Amino acid sequence: MPDHDQLLTFPSSYRAQLSDAEFARLSAFIYNVAGIKMPPAKRIMLQSRLQKRLRELQMDSFKEYIEYLMSERGKQEELIQMLDVVSTNKTDFFREPVHFDFLRDTVLPAHYGEAGARPIKIWSAACSSGEEPYTIAMTIAEYCRTKGVLHDYSIMGTDLSTKVLKMAENAVYKMDKVEGLPIDILHRYFLRSKDRENPTVRVVPELRRHVKVQRMNFMDETYSINEVFDVVFCRNVLIYFDRQTQEKVIGKLCTKLKQGGYFFLGHSESIMNMTLPLQPVRPTIFRKI
């Protein structure tokens, strides 16, 4: 065993501390530009995540970083980098499966049963690294396969973070991300890498061609998407916003949802006492009226 007789030294950015006043200023800025709540309990988490940005920018203090971030130059160069760092992106394939069951058993039969049915358009409005839109694609593909039909569809994935959008676009995932999926789903919809040391899988091209991604901030006054969708998934992201912001965001999302279209929320989210054009169908499943 090697000796450990030399003390480690760290650059000053590792030792930079985020004061209460700096945290208050930074959290207010994050809320204004992204709607993300940063309560005092998240100060240490925010400090830890942003220390990497200080190192990359060769800055020694959060004071210096905050001044840069809030400058016109910083808003152009650093804002997206900062939001990539502080936004939380946790997701899985077939997360909250009751939604995909409803899509398969209710939404798809009704849509494709209509006379002159057109391609179904679905928006994954907080798509993170892509597991949700590709789960939607697999659900549609499985429906078409079992019914013996060919139906076209398109899925738009949007997120605040450019980092996770790149992952969604590449559609490459570590093997542990797909552990537990049915073996037939794995065989039909994933390609395995040849690297046995660092095994990964990639979603098959037949599904990838149906999924497009782009960056979008829920706090934008208007959403730069010209399409109207049959279904909107917006799950497990509104919990980071306050109630007023939640209602405002869902209202804007509903302007992109066709009348009679379906809206899906995360299992821990609610629109109770909000004034929205949505009627409950099932818990966390709504229809636009």
Residues in the chain: 289
Question: Is 159 marked active-site?
Answer: yes
Torsion angle defined by CA atoms of residues 36, 90, 126 and 280, in that order, rounded to the nearest 10 degrees: -90
Q: Could you tell me if 124 and 210 are in contact, meaning their C-beta atoms sit under 8 angstroms apart?
A: no
Query: Dihedral sign, CA of 90, 94, 98, 103?
Result: positive
Of 150, 251, 141, whose CA–CA distance to 189 is shortest? 141
Residue type, 146: T
Query: Is 15 part of the annotated catalytic residue set?
Result: no
Q: Phi, psi at residue 272, to the nearest 5°? A: -55, 135
The whole-angstrom distance between residue 26's C-alpha and the CA centroid of its chain comes to: 22
Instruction: Give the integer Cα–Cα distance in Å for 184 and 178.
Output: 12
Q: Which of 43, 53, 159, 230 is catalytic?
A: 159
Active-site residue identified among 49, 55, 202, 287: 49
> Tokens 């037949």 map to which residue?
206
Q: Quick check: 193 and 224 in contact, CB under 8 A? A: no
Q: How many whole angstroms from its chain centre is CA 7?
A: 41
Whole-angstrom distance, CA of residue 202 vs CA of residue 211: 14
Q: DSSP letters along 173-235, please?
A: EEGGGTTTS-HHHHHHHEEE-S-SSS-EEEE-HHHHTTEEEEE--TTSSS------EEEEEE-
Q: Which residue numbers are catalytic? A: 49, 159
